[in-house]
Amino acid sequence: MTGNELIYQIFEDFNIDSDDSNISEKYIIQLINQQRALFLTNEGNKRGHTLDSKLIQTLKPSNIEKVSTVLSNDLGLTSECFFVRTTDKIPRAIETHKGQLYTRIGPLDLMAKEFPLKELVEVTFAGNGRFNENVISAFWLDDRIYLVSKAEDFQFVKAISIRGIFEDPIEAANYNLPSSECWTLDDEYPLSDRLFNYIKAQILQQLSYKYSIPSDTTNDASDVIKQPAQAPQRQ
C-alpha cells in the first residue's frame, strides 16, 4: 500500500476528515514508523521468527573506501592495518538481541558468498579461525558498514550490496533516490497487510487516548473535570 492509502485507512477508522483536521499526515506516518519498528524489534527477538519479504528493502550499490583502523586522527596516530567502509552513511536496520536485521551484505553478484555481519567486539578476532582466514566480515559502526579481513585482496572490493529491514523505511527509500528527489505519500510503504492491521489498532488507541482523555487544568482544588477533547470529526 502507498503512504496515502495507509493514512486514509487510519483517518477513516478514526472518523477524521483530512481536509478539516489538526492531525497531520506527517504525524500519522511518524506513528506508523514508530509502531512498525517497535513491533519488528519485538518479533525479531522471538525464537524461530521468520522475516516477511515485504518488509525487506534493497539499497542501491554502495561505494566503499579504504580507511585506517585508527578511525580518529586527532592525535596524528595511524596504523598500517585498515578497514574498508561505505562512503555514504547507511540507514540503520532494526536491532534485536540477535543482531541488526541486515538480511544481506555482500558483493554485487547475488550468487557470490555474502559477508557475515559481526558485532564490533568480534572484529578483533575476525579471520583468526582455522577455516575463516580469508573470509571478509562486515560490521556496522557510526552509520556505515565496514569490512575487515586478513585476506590481502579484500581492499579491492569496489562496491557492496545491502538489504535489510530498516528502522525508518522512508530514509531507506530516500537513500535510493537522487538527491533532488524524495519519497512521497504516493509511493509504496514496505508493510504487510497483517502487520498494518496490528499497527493500525495501536495507532487508533494512541489517537483515542490523546484526543479523548479528560483533564483538570484549572488548578483550583475542585472536583470539576473538563470535558474530554473531541477528536476531529468528518463533516
Residues 114-127: tens digit of each pLDDT: 999 988 888 777 66
Of 91, 80, 90, 77, the C-alpha closest to 170 is 91
Q: Residue 45 corresponds to which amino acid?
A: N
Residue 146: is its pLDDT beyond 70?
A: yes
Element (H, E) at 99: strand 99-100
Nearest to 28 by CA among 4, 44, 46: 4
- Rounded to the nearest integer, the mean pLDDT of the chain is 83
Global confidence as pTM:
0.80
Tell me what pLDDT residue 225 has. Answer: 32
Q: Which of residues 46 and 91 earns the better pLDDT score?
A: 91
Secondary structure class of 47 (helix, strand, coil): coil
Per mean pLDDT, which range of 45-49, 116-120, 191-195 is the poorest?
Answer: 45-49
User: In the 8-state DSSP scheme, what is residue 166?
Assistant: B
Is the pLDDT reported for residue 234 higher than 50?
no
Q: What residues contact 114, with CB distance under 8 A and at least 6 apart?
A: 104, 105, 106, 107
The predicted structure's pLDDT at residue 72: 65
pLDDT at position 200 over 50: yes
Q: What is the mean pLDDT of residues 202-209?
A: 91
SS3 content of the chain, % helix, strand, coil (to 5): 30, 20, 50
Which residues partner with 188 through β-bridges? Answer: 2
Identify the pLDDT of residue 151.
80
